[in-house]
Amino acid sequence: MDEPAHNVEVTVITHDAESAEITVVGELTEHARRPLVREMTDLMLAGATLKQVRVDLCEVTFMNSAGMATLVQLQRMAQPRGIDTPLVVHTAAVARPLQLSGLWRRFTIVDRREGHPEDVHEATPHGHDHS
- The domain that holds 58 is classified in CATH as 3.30.750.24
* pTM across the whole model: 0.85
Domain extent, residue 47, equals 29-121
Contact present, 82 and 53 (Cβ < 8 Å) = no
pLDDT, position 128 = 44
Q: 97 lies in a domain? A: yes
Q: 18 lies in a domain? A: no
Are β-strands 8-14 and 52-63 bridged in parallel, bridged antiparallel, or unpaired? unpaired
pLDDT, position 129 = 41
Q: Which amino acid is at 87?
A: L
pLDDT, position 114 = 79
pLDDT, position 118 = 61
3-state DSSP assignment of residue 97: helix
10-residue mean pLDDT profile of the chain (131 residues): values are 64 90 96 96 90 96 96 97 95 94 93 74 54 37
Domain count, the chain: 1
